């Protein structure tokens, strides 16, 4: 399936120093995580659906800030969706 809108990357890589300063868990400094913006429930659904179809097994959703966190960390539980 294809999305009918472009994916806007809010955050890809960030350095470990900054990640530590903001209390991150090291997902983005490894290059194994990305945050994608959404502006409505249709976009959220499409991002989550497409991600699962492409094999993404870890998805975090921030309704407050309007982004979906996608990662493929090997040392964390997979097959999970969580909210911020």
Per-block mean pLDDT, blocks of 10 residues, the chain (84 long): 87 89 82 94 96 95 96 88 94
**6-15 pLDDT, tens per residue?**
999 999 998 8
What is the distance of C-alpha 42 from the center of its chain?
A: 16
DSSP state of 17: H
**34-46 pLDDT, tens per residue?**
999 999 999 999 9
Q: Which residues contact 9 (CB under 8 A, 6 or more apart)?
A: 34, 35, 36, 37
């Amino acid at each position: 399936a294809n999305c009918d809108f472009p994916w806007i990357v809010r955050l890809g890589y960030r350095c470990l120093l900054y990640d530590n300063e903001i209390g991150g868990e090291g997902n983005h400094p490894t290059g194994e995580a990305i945050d994608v913006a959404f502006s409505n429930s249709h976009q959220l659904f499409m991002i989550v659906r497409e991600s699962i179809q492409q094999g993404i097994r870890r998805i975090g959703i921030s309704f407050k800030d309007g982004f979906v966190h996608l990662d493929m960390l090997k040392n964390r539980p997979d097959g999970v969706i969580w909210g911020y």
